[in-house]
Amino acid sequence: MRFRPFFTILFLFVLTLAGPAQALPAAPDTEAPAAEETHPDPLRRETPRSMVSGLIEALAELDYDRAAQYFELPTATSSRQRMSAVSQARAFHSLLDNGGSLKAFATLSNQASGRVDDDLPLDQENVGEVTVQDKKTPILITRSEVDGQQVWRISSATLGQIAAATKRAPVAETASQDEYLVAGAPLKDWGLLIGLGVMIFGGLWLVSALVVAAMRRLVADSAASGIYRFFEAALPPASLLLAVAIFYTWAERLPVAIVARQTLLRYTGIVTVIALVWFGLRLVDAVAELVIARMQRRQRRQIVSVVTLLRRTVKILLLVFSGIGILDTFGIDVTTGIAALGIGGIALALGAQKTVENLVGSVTVIADRPLQVGDFIKVGDVVGTVEDVGIRSTRIRTLERTVVTIPNGDLSARQIENFAARDRFLFNPTIAVSYATPSAKLQEALTIVRGVLAEEEKIAEGHRARLGGITDRAFNIDIFSYIDTPEFDVQVVVREHLLLTIYARLEAAGIRLAYPSQTVLFQGDGPGEDERKEDGKEEGGPAPRLEKDERPGR
């Protein structure tokens, strides 16, 4: 799989511009009581992650009245109290825009109980920090009951510290209403962040391309070099991953609107996942191709099938885990889905027994190694060359140049004849000598055949040529020997040479080979002839004549 990272990151940035403030609602907490599931909080304050998303959405819409409801403040019962809450929300927005920061979306807990390993009380979470008078103040949120529901809100202690600090040194105002806003943030802020991302990634991409080009010139055999293949596969995705890290660090320090910054930083998680998966896929391909090339040079073709299967398995796992990571970045709780996969997997296995059987058959075929890619085999009525041993099936290219696909479950249970595994070829012809051959000539024929076998250097030791039988048509000389070569093309030439040499020497010695014929002899006058003639008359037929059947055409 090949990605175009430049266009990918640019597309994601543009996508966030279209609606970054529309934070996706977090999945309902599976541990929440039944009452919360029945009547969810309309502001989505059930988990720290959903609470921060809802707050950013309110700030993006400049809805400070709704943003104030994410603060741990007394319920506004008068117009003055309401205005005070709105003022605090606006001041908080200004602090975030001017040096404040919130934690990355993926690091915020998506559980109603929050994180339990952060050395804070169970009802408190740290979700970021703001800077007032060069002093950093942590943003703490607390879990408390509102209208019978447990929700997370920015703690009153944090709001008190911010209010005390801002009285001594008022902070700059947030974006002016006159500025052109896109999704709750000034257009210049979006342009600054996107331009920064493109500049960082473009520069790193150019550097990686130059390094790869330089290595291609310096390395003599770049196609077979493991170091070159590693850098060629790793540098492009590594440049994207490094660009994300630099962008995240620099974006935190830029005086831009918190809405634009937090939205883009949130979606850099997707770019990070893409970079990691891209790196993994390219690295798997590079390592697999390098191993396959070395195994083919060493004639260890059985490893090719194993590497091919492992390559596909690892790439599928990478894609699955990347999908989980992207779903988590969008705020979708995947823990319930993963748990459901266990139950669904059992049901799927029961309904897909053939598929499971083929997967098990794949493991059996690769572990037992009855065949390899490139082998010439026979399976049932199928004869051909193995082209691929896949996860589900094996493909065989037949002599008719068609491709036959056999499920691995069926293949592992069938008899496989592997012609590529033999080390020599059987040479076992029968030389039929004519009945007209005298015994001396028959003995000479045996000597000639044995001499031809002994002279051929490709014939293995232990060969023999014997008079194997006297049939109703010829004297049969049986040859049993092996042509000592594993190559099919070589044995064809040797076999042809042996047969031509045997025929030429027998012909030179005047020894004729037998041909399909039948001779019928009618005995002449002699004892019992009269009786046979009488028998012929009694049967009503004429006396037989002396005839001889010869081969057709004579």
Check residue 455 and give its pLDDT: 93
Residue 362 near residue 408, CB atoms below 8 Å:
yes
User: H/E element holding 242?
Assistant: helix 226-253
Check residue 143 and give its pLDDT: 87
| CA nearest neighbour of 71 among 161, 147, 158 | 158
Check residue 80 and give its pLDDT: 74
Q: For 86-95, how does the pLDDT look when each residue is reduced to its tens digit (9 = 90+)?
A: 888 888 888 8
| CA nearest neighbour of 258 among 96, 130, 149 | 96
Dihedral sign (CA 78, 79, 84, 85): positive
Which residue type, as a one-letter code, is found at position 183?
A
| CA nearest neighbour of 486 among 396, 426, 428, 397 | 426
Q: Distance (Å, rounded) from C-alpha 284 to C-alpha 47?
A: 38
pLDDT along the chain (554 residues), means of 10: 41 40 40 49 83 84 83 72 79 79 77 80 83 78 84 84 64 53 74 81 82 74 62 77 79 75 75 80 80 71 68 80 70 61 62 70 77 88 89 88 91 88 91 91 94 92 92 91 91 94 94 78 57 45 42 41
Check residue 538 and give its pLDDT: 42
Check residue 145 and give its pLDDT: 83
What is the full DSSP assignment across 31-59? TS-HHHHHS--TT--SSHHHHHHHHHHHH
Q: For 458-469, how does the pLDDT look when each residue is reduced to its tens digit (9 = 90+)?
A: 999 989 999 999
